[in-house]
Every structure is written in structure tokens, then in C-alpha cells.
């Protein structure tokens, strides 16, 4: 493997990890409050289409991000209503949202594009072009879009919020013992709503970054390719900790970037097996780490205010 190919792989690793990092932040908070938002795959797919559609119609990347955040909040609120207020099964609810999103995005993208080739502007780079020619780090770091830098900074802020703020303590308390939290005067339902809406916002933003981070187009048939489920695995592997989850996301992003590079150099391994690489690593990681993770005590369980 040539040195240039390794540099290209490292750059792609950071870029492909960015959407996973963003989605994982919201999912960590949701699951720490006891709610599994399995619908992040569908919300991510919706955010991917929303970013492309708004950018195509308005020619504004900034407006595309803002509308995507709003869409994520609305979808997150829908998930919160079903799982928190109506106490529906969280797994079934998430799968329903994923299936609806898959069909709806294909339909809407067909209406948007018709016979046209829809391609839009992408996120700009954070550093001037003079930085791009710096050996090694110029391509790996300074050619990254601004979304990649944001994605790598946010897990540190998420860890600060989760472990160093009152709200973060409340989230962890609600996830471990909601009855005790309610007795202490906390609004358990309000906090669960906040975290699930947050997971919807970050899932949609992750989808937007997936399309506007570099490629600038949307592909029908499930462009997210199961990345929402990979994030859910990363959350478990990372022990519901923002930084360890971020590390798991980077590993999965590296595997995704690697299989694309192997295909590009004409590997003798069939490309179908190379495409399996990120998912194989996900399964192996889950097998190794799942027993070592400390699960939030009410993880996936519906909260009934009348329970004592």
C-alpha cells in the first residue's frame, strides 16, 4: 500500500466518521435517560434528503442545516411522544420510523429530481487553501470540511455536559432510577423528551453531513447504509460514554474508508465481502465489549409515573 493511499485513507476516515460522531452524541443522551431511539437510521436518512433538497432549492448550505435541525427536532418529538407519552415498544417504534423514512425519502427525492441530476454545494473547508499543501497534515486535517471539525469537537462538549452539569446529572439519574428522580422533584418525562428530541436533532444533522460533507448528492435506496445501527452499536461498545463512543465511531469510520480504498486499488477480494467489513467489525466489537459495558438501569424500559 502506497504512502499516498494511506494519507488518503486517513483523510477519508475522519470524513466518514463525522456523521457517526454527530449521531452518536444525541443517542448517548437518549439512552442514558433510558430511551432507545432506534429510529435514528430513518431520521438520519430524512436529514440527508432534507439537506440536499433545501440546498438545491435555496442554494444555501446554512439554511439547509437550519431546516435539517428543525426537521430532526420534529421527528425526535414524534419519537418522544410515542415512546415516552404513549409508552410504545421502543424497538418496534424505531423500526416503523426507519421503514417509513426509507419509502418517504425515495418518493420525495423522485418528485424533487425528476429526470434531473441533483447535485449541490458542499460544506466549505475551515482553513485557507495555503494550508492544504502542507505535507501529510495538509490533506488529512486542513482539507476537511468544517462539519468534520465540528463533529470531532462536539463529543468533548457532550462529555462535559453529561458529567459536569446539573442537567447531565439529571439525565443519568432519570436513566438509572426514574422513580427516585421524580421523588427528588425532577420532571422525568420532560427530561426524556429533551434527550430524545436531542437525538433526533443530531441524527438529522448527521444525515445532512453525510450528503453535504463532500458528495453533494442523494442516492435513493437507503443512502445511510445502516450507519444509524452502527452508531447504536458504537454507543453500546463505548459504554454510553460520549468519548469512548466517539472512539468506536472512528474505528467504524476507518473500516468504511478502508473497504472503499481496497475496492479502488482492485483487491482480489470480492467487493461484496469488502462492503461487509464495517459491519463485521461492529459485530466483533459488540461480542467483545457488550459484557463489559454498564447498561443504564432502565435502558429500553417504558416509564410509568404511577409505578412505585
Q: Kindly list the domain boundaries of the chain, sorted by start residue.
A: 3-223
What is the CA 150 to chain-centroid distance, rounded? 13
Please, what sign has the CA dihedral across residues 187, 21, 66, 130?
A: positive
Cell matching residue 94: 424505531
Q: pLDDT: is 248 or 116 the higher one?
A: 248
Cell matching residue 130: 495555503
User: Among residues of the chain, what percentage have pLDDT more than 90?
Assistant: 63
Residue 78: CA count within 13 A, CB half-sphere: 16
pTM of this prediction exceeds 0.85: yes
Please, what sign has the CA dihedral across residues 29, 122, 46, 283?
A: negative
Residue 283 confidence (pLDDT): 78
Mean pLDDT of the region 102-122: 86
- The per-residue pLDDT for range 73-100, each reduced to its tens digit, is 999 999 999 999 999 999 999 999 999 9
Residue 221 has pLDDT above 90, yes or no: no
- Residue 99 neighbours by CB under 8 Å, 6+ apart: 42
Residue 293 confidence (pLDDT): 67
Q: Binning pLDDT at 50, 70 and 90, where does residue 289 land?
A: low
**Cα 156–Cα 43–Cα 229 angle in degrees, nearest 5:** 70
Q: Which of 193, 185, 236, 231 lies closest to 33 in space, CA to CA?
A: 193
Residue 271 confidence (pLDDT): 62
Cell matching residue 196: 430524545
Partnered with residue 113 across adjacent β-strands are none
Question: Grid coordinates 447535485 are at which residue?
Answer: 119
Q: pLDDT: is 126 or 21 the higher one?
A: 21
Q: Which of 176, 200, 178 lies closest to 189 in space, CA to CA?
A: 178
Residue 71 confidence (pLDDT): 98
Cα separation, 17 vs 307, whole angstroms: 41
Residue 133 has pLDDT above 80, yes or no: yes
Residue 132 has pLDDT above 90, yes or no: no
Cell matching residue 186: 425532577
Amino acid at each position: 500500500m502506497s504512502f499516498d493511499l494511506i494519507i488518503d485513507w486517513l483523510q477519508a476516515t475522519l470524513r466518514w466518521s463525522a456523521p457517526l460522531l454527530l449521531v452518536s452524541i444525541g443517542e448517548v443522551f437518549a439512552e442514558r435517560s433510558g430511551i432507545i431511539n432506534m429510529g435514528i437510521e430513518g431520521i438520519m436518512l430524512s436529514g440527508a434528503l432534507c439537506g440536499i433538497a433545501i440546498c438545491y432549492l435555496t442554494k444555501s448550505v446554512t439554511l439547509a442545516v437550519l431546516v435539517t435541525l428543525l426537521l430532526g427536532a420534529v421527528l425526535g418529538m414524534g419519537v418522544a411522544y410515542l415512546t415516552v407519552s404513549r409508552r410504545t415498544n421502543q424497538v418496534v417504534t424505531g423500526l416503523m420510523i426507519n421503514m417509513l423514512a426509507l419509502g418517504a425519502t425515495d418518493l420525495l427525492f423522485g418528485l424533487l429530481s425528476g429526470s434531473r441530476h441533483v447535485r449541490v454545494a458542499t460544506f466549505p473547508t475551515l482553513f485557507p487553501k495555503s494550508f492544504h499543501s502542507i505535507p501529510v497534515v495538509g490533506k488529512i486535517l486542513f482539507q476537511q470540511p468544517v462539519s468534520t471539525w465540528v463533529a470531532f469537537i462536539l463529543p468533548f462538549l457532550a462529555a462535559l455536559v453529561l458529567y459536569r452539569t446539573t442537567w447531565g446529572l439529571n439525565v443519568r439519574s432519570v436513566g438509572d432510577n426514574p422513580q427516585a428522580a421524580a421523588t427528588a422533584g425532577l420532571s422525568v418525562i420532560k427530561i426524556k423528551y429533551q434527550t430524545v428530541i436531542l437525538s433526533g436533532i443530531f441524527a438529522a444533522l448527521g444525515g445532512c453531513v453525510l450528503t453535504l460533507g463532500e458528495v453533494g448528492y442523494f442516492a435513493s435506496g437507503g443512502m445511510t447504509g445502516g450507519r444509524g445501527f452502527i452508531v447504536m452499536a458504537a454507543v453500546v461498545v463505548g459504554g454510553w460514554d460520549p468519548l469512548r463512543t466517539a472512539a468506536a465511531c472512528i474505528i467504524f469510520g476507518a473500516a468504511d474508508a478502508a473497504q472503499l480504498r481496497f475496492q479502488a486499488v482492485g483487491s482480489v477480494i470480492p467487493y461484496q465481502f469488502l462492503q461487509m467489513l464495517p459491519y463485521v467489525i461492529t459485530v466483533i466489537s459488540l461480542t467483545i465489549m457488550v459484557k463489559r459495558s454498564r447498561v443504564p438501569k432502565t435502558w429500553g424500559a417504558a416509564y410509568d409515573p404511577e409505578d412505585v
